[in-house]
Amino acid sequence: MKPMKNWILRIFIGMNCLFMGGSFSSQAQSAGSGYEIRVTLNAYQNQYLYLAYHYGKTKALADSALVQANGTAIFKGSKALPGGIYIMVSPKKEFLFELLVDKEQRFAVQADTARLHDVKFTGSQDNTAFLNYTAFIQTRGKEIFALQKQLSAAPNKKDSIALQEQIGQLNAAIQQYRADYIKKAPDNFLSALFAALQEPVIPPASQHPKGRYDTAWAYSYFKDHYWDNISFSDERLVRTPFFEGRLDRYFKSLVSPEADSIKKEIDHMLLYARSSKDMYRFLLTHFVQKYIQPEYMGQDAVFVHLFEKYINEKPEVDWFTEKYRKHMTDRAYSLMANLIGNPAWDLPLVDSNGKMRPLYEVKANYTVICFWDPTCGHCKELVPKLDSMYQAKWKNQGIRIYGVMTEGGKENWTKFIKEHKLTDWIHVYQTEEQKKEERDAGKPNFRQLYDVYQTPVLYLLDEQKRIIAKKLTYQQMDEVISMKQQKQVSK
């Protein structure tokens, strides 16, 4: 029995445990009569070879096969493999060589482990063409590398220009090779790969508005044509090493970082990907992972959008594990309560004397909420610095600090406040009676409402208690306040 057969998405490298268990064949194409890839090697007798595939930036397992005494291993299944770029992997998990899998799924491979650049395929035109291209690109690549070395040591401008022209000619030859192949075999998988590697070519300045180079127009042209040669219904592209990188580059370089802009782009992509379950699953999972813990403030609204529109109560989204689905649900409901621009939830908390000091009774142009723990090492360092900023600048600007003790004990809390003379803050906490009453009523606590699962955490509210900023440093908070004040002055 093959020990690793049918472990879909059991990853060799780098993928989180997001997906449900299941057989590889359940994700495969239903057409055809299965696959049989016969591999002959001069090594690894009585050991297992592995057939893996690219899945975005990660590598996933498709099948395994025992190398017989005659050096032959047969990968075989009753249903066709999904198309993509696959990898032959040694028993030591070393990558041996890549191969294309598409319509031709019954072929043979012969390889010498000492000459893996000279693999031979029988019965696969796709892979023969792939090998020819690989040989061509390696030759041209060596030539370009040698010219680049000469360029770095070029003695004068004239030589530099000549070398750059030669490099340009070699790159043009590579592009022409791809274009010729696409023209000759437009339906082949290799043609789809070549097309997907093409970059938009910005027209010359004479074709720009008013006949001169326009940077803004060039940017728009490049963005508008970025996906011209890529189909979001072609699931084979998911199983390539470059598609996810191209996706990341688009959102990093060409899409505005505001949540609304990102949501618009994602909705557009997912709409076109619906005809391919594999592509749809890949894109939705990619965006969930990217925005569930976003890089920039405010982008958590993207994840909330994804959850509400595409995941919550959607039976067709069935590939996440129960554990990860719960994580997404908990995270979404926590973030829904504190999105940028929304009114902050009131905090009916009490001060050290037991007096109610609700958040909404604080009158100030801006309110900084500081969730902190007097026993937290980072809090001990930040809170006095935050108070220094308050005393030196914010206090005179009519800003108030609403300090919420998350845990650490009342005695430690009041001791820290006294020792560091934090007398101008509004200090509050939640009593045990309040906690019990809250639990009994099934109400969310302030940790859920403000997504406070570590400390310290800072929020900035405007006069109407709308959330302006969150989870920034106090220095960044000060920059936001300064910008807001400048805008008000300029009005």
CB 233 within 8 A of CB 193: no
The answer to whether the CB of 448 falls within 8 A of the CB of 334 is yes
Residue recorded with tokens 């997001």 = 18
Q: Which of 351, 355, 367, 347 is nearest to 413 (CA)?
A: 351
> Which pair of tokens denotes residue 331?
């995270």
DSSP state of 312: T
pLDDT tens figures, 94-114: 999 999 999 999 999 999 999
For residue 181, the tally of other CB atoms under 10 A from its CB is: 18
What pLDDT shows up at residue 348? 95
Instruction: Say yes or no to pLDDT of 383 above 90.
Output: yes
Q: Which two tokens stand for residue 149?
A: 């070395």
**CA-angle at 428, arms to 427 and 430, nearest 5°:** 160
Please determine, for residue 18, whether its predicted confidence score (pLDDT) is greater than 80: no
Residue with tokens 């749809």: 280
Q: Whole-model pTM? A: 0.84
Strand partners, 97: 88
Listed in sequence order, the residues at least 6 apart from 485 whose beta carbon sits closer than 8 Å to its beta carbon are 397
Cα separation of 274 and 235, whole Å?
Answer: 11
Q: How confident is the model at residue 31 (pLDDT cuts 50, 70, 90)?
A: very low
pLDDT in tens, 231-241: 999 999 999 99
First to last CA, the chain: 75
Task: For the domain made up of 359-490, give the CATH fold.
Answer: Glutaredoxin (3.40.30)
Check residue 488 and give its pLDDT.
76
- Band of pLDDT at residue 486, cut at 50, 70 and 90: confident
From 141, 146, 133, 144, select the one nearest 100 (Cα to Cα): 133
Q: How far apart are CA 439 and CA 442, in angstroms?
A: 5
Which of these CATH numbers, 2.60.40.1110, 3.30.499.10, 2.40.50.100, 3.40.50.1820, describes 11-123?
Answer: 2.60.40.1110
| pLDDT per residue as tens digits for the range 77-92 | 999 999 999 999 999 9
Residue 425, CA distances (Å) to 367, 395, 458 in order: 11, 10, 14
Nearest to 484 by CA among 365, 387, 401: 365
pLDDT for 117-132, tens place per residue?
889 999 999 999 999 9
- Residue linked to tokens 């970082």: 257
Q: 125-152 vs 189-197: helix axis angle to the nearest 10?
A: 30
Helix (H) and strand (E) counts in the chain: 14, 14
